[in-house]
Amino acid sequence: MTTKIIEITVSPTGQTSVQTKGFVGSECREASKFLEEALGQRVSESLTAEFYQTTQQQQAVQQSA
C-alpha cells in the first residue's frame, strides 16, 4: 500500500501551497478539500501524473515494484 501524504507549505509572506502524494485520481482533491476550504481561495492548480492514473494502474505499479 502506498503511503498517502498531504504536505502544506507556508511561505514567509503567508502564501500557502498544498501538495498531495500517493493519491490516485481525484482522491487527492477529496483528501485536501478541507484544507483548501480552511486556507481560502485557490489561486492555481498543478496536476501530477498520479492524478491521471486509475486505481488499476496504481495497483499494477505497486505489484511490479
* E-assigned strand segments in 1-65: 5-10, 16-21
Distance of CA 52 to the CA centre of its chain: 12
Global model pTM greater than 0.75: no
- What are 16-35's pLDDT values in tens digits? 999 999 998 889 999 999 99
Give the number of domains in the chain: 1
pLDDT at 54: 74
Distance in angstroms (rounded) separating the CA atoms of residues 36 and 30: 10
Nearest to 52 by CA among 29, 26, 19: 26
Q: Report the distance separating Cα 42 and Cα 32, nearest Å.
A: 12
Residues 38-54 have pLDDT tens digits of 988 888 888 888 888 87
| Structural domain containing residue 22 | 5-64
Where residue 59 falls among pLDDT bands split at 50, 70, 90? low
